[in-house]
Amino acid sequence: MGLHRLNSLVVGVPDVAATARYYRDFGLAEDADGWFSTRDGGRQLKIVHSPRRQLMELSIGADDPDDLARIRRQLSSLDIPADIAGDALLTREPVTGFQVVVRVAERLHQDPEPPTPYNGPGRTERSSTRAPGVLRTGPVRPRKLGHVVVGSPDHERTIQFFTAGLGFKTSDAIKGHGAFMRCSTDHHNVLALAAPVAFLHHTSWQVEDVDEVGRGATAMLEDHPERHVWGLGRHHAGSNFFWYLKDPAGNFSEYYSDMDSILDDQLWTPETLEGAKGLFNWGPPPPPSFLRPDDLAALMTGAHQAG
């Protein structure tokens, strides 16, 4: 696969300052020009002003210029225009309208931390010392941007854009509702969901392990309990631990760890999931606002007025 990572995303919100404070608290490092960085992925989030919350741009990493030419041919076969300028291909997702930039970029390298030792029946990985997770005191800082979830009024066409157009692969599907798609060895980098209006559902950020998921969410909620959305739990699709929070604009952000990795496509069998299994394996049930965000009606009204 010539594609290999999510580079970055640009998100539009009505109140840039308040949203920026949230992502500083979330553990992203802010640069002077408005970009936010992860530990391993570099500059991966930019927040800009917009009358409503929306995904403005998604950047995807490719290996070389030949990948850009191939993607342009694939998009042309779908009657989707694309331009190549230097080391980047520019196009737009045809349903939701956000810009997609496929840029030649180095592959992401992540230096591993020592494996987290866990004790279990007949297995002692940690002896005569407390678990590392209860000894950590520093702030949680995400390692990379993992995936983005978008709502689409024509999710099948959005899926076609990412798979037949850009070259993503489908890892799992939710029957009649969406698909988990990957451009890297992670189980998914984009999830397209059926929705009555185009909107950004959530962004997801990798942390070291389940302790960092819990520590990060606990710190975020200490003075702001209204940020809580859903967690702690474990998904079935992707298998990752999760905890979802909400930024001031209404976008959800997820801490995750332990995502499935697909190193050999021949060894992976996609599933078509139905019911609750499509959402989670264990944990509290998702609140209604996770499935239908509280501002969905307002987004629909705004989209209608804009059209």
- Asked whether 201 and 193 are in contact (CB, 8 A), the reply is yes
* Confidence (pLDDT) at 34: 87
Residue 275 has pLDDT above 90, yes or no: no
Burial 92-129 (b: 16+ CB within 10 A, else e): ebbbbebebbbbbbeebeeeeeeebeeeeeeeeeeeee
Least confidently predicted of 63-72, 109-118, 174-183: 109-118
Average model confidence (pLDDT) for the chain?
Answer: 95
Q: How far apart are CA 119 and CA 209, in angstroms?
A: 15
pLDDT in tens, 295-305: 999 999 885 44
| pLDDT value at residue 1 | 66
Beta strands 35-38; 29-30: pairing state: antiparallel
CB 264 within 8 A of CB 211: no
Neighbouring residues of 43: CB distance < 8 A, sequence distance ≥ 6: 8, 31, 35, 36, 37
Sequence letter at residue 24: R
Beta pairing, strands 272-273 & 169-174: parallel
Residue ranges in the chain assigned as alpha helix (H): 16-26, 65-77, 132-135, 155-160, 210-221, 288-291, 296-306
Contact call for residues 19 and 47 (beta carbons, < 8 A): yes
**The token pair that represents 206 in the structure block:** 């990798």
At 195-214, the pLDDT tens digits run 999 999 999 999 999 999 99
Nearest to 56 by CA among 75, 87, 34, 71: 34
Rounded Cα gap, residues 290 and 150, in angstroms = 13
How far out from the chain centre does Cα 165 lie?
Answer: 20
With a cut of 70, say whether residue 69 has pLDDT above it.
yes
Q: Report pTM.
A: 0.95
Give me the pLDDT at residue 78, please.
Answer: 98
Q: Could you state, in order of their start, the residue ranges of all structural domains in the chain? A: 3-107+140-306
**pLDDT > 90: what percent of the chain?**
92
Q: What's the pLDDT score for residue 307?
A: 33
- The pLDDT tens digits for 216-271 are 999 999 999 999 999 999 999 999 999 999 999 999 999 999 999 999 999 999 99
Q: Which of 44-53, 134-143, 175-184, 268-277 has the lowest mean pLDDT?
A: 268-277
Residue 276 has pLDDT above 90, yes or no: no
Residues 6 or more apart whose Cβ sits within 8 Å of residue 292: none
Beta strands in 168-240 (DSSP E): 169-174, 178-182, 190-194, 199-206, 228-234
Cα four-point dihedral sign 79, 84, 87, 88: negative
- Listed residue (96, 213, 205) closest to 146, CA to CA: 205
Measured distance between the N- and C-terminal CA atoms of the chain, rounded to whole angstroms: 37
Q: Which CATH superfamily is domain 3-107+140-306 in?
A: 2,3-Dihydroxybiphenyl 1,2-Dioxygenase, domain 1 (3.10.180.10)
pLDDT of residue 303: 54
- Mean pLDDT throughout 131-141? 95
The tokens for 218 are 């606990």
Q: Helix 210-221 to helix 16-26 angle, to the nearest 10 degrees?
A: 140
- What average pLDDT score do residues 168-185 get? 96
Q: Which residues pair with 64 in a beta bridge?
A: none
- Asked if pLDDT for residue 306 goes beyond 70, the answer is no
